[in-house]
Chain A
């Protein structure tokens, strides 16, 4: 059962990295700017999940705070990018 759990953790890490690669593809060749913003937001979420899964992998609670910080920064940056795309400036 322990080997199965470590295998599942490794599969989760690999699939999150694959999802980040797919988001990077969409970020590079997205036809419009809002596609790139959407891909960047998904990339932030995948990075947060990667930090959480690394915390499970190494059995450490420190990664939780990194995941919390990544989630907060991703939200703020996505809001700023959408505001810039919609209005042309961030703070009016």
Chain B
């Protein structure tokens, strides 16, 4: 794990990736600090963070696009399989290297509230609470990026999908207002989700009967539930979209609530996507 971590770190700092990532993050936070703290003369640093979390849409895919996709394209992933460490250790090593690259610009950002405190009254608990939440939010998005990178061997494709997914997550709360909140609409969306799940099952197991079986059972179950009690489906899809939003939970910190449930949510998202990345690498052993 340490070997993978060292190798990845050397790779990031010998290429432009780490510098481009750090520069983008610092420029965006710098623009935010100029707009809010200097021009508008607001002493709340957390507003800058809530403004600049949009930058994750661009920089997280830049950072994570090559992490596994490039190994696959260059066929060096075969070396990873033959290493005397487990796939989990490979993924965790790579993820820790990404976190280290992310922490360096964040350490510089940590100085900003202290600098501003020299010139006025900055309430530091909110600032640093928000910076901590900003770190965990970014860490969750990086885990998502690692998973997307493990799905393809084309870097550009990984970056494109990553941008689309993170942008969708960013706007999912505003989009939730326009999504059909009727019971029937929710049923249709869930049926489509089940069909996608069945397609994934078919792709993974190469067994059509299993995919048809599971898909049919799930759809039948939902249909029965719909006819028994259709009020359960009302507003379900907008609800799910709001719950899944990573950014929405971050704004609670900006508003001055250090919400442990949000931290738990971010940690579970990290665990889940790293786990899926391991499964995605393991898939090449059997499929």
Task: Say if A and B assemble together.
Answer: no
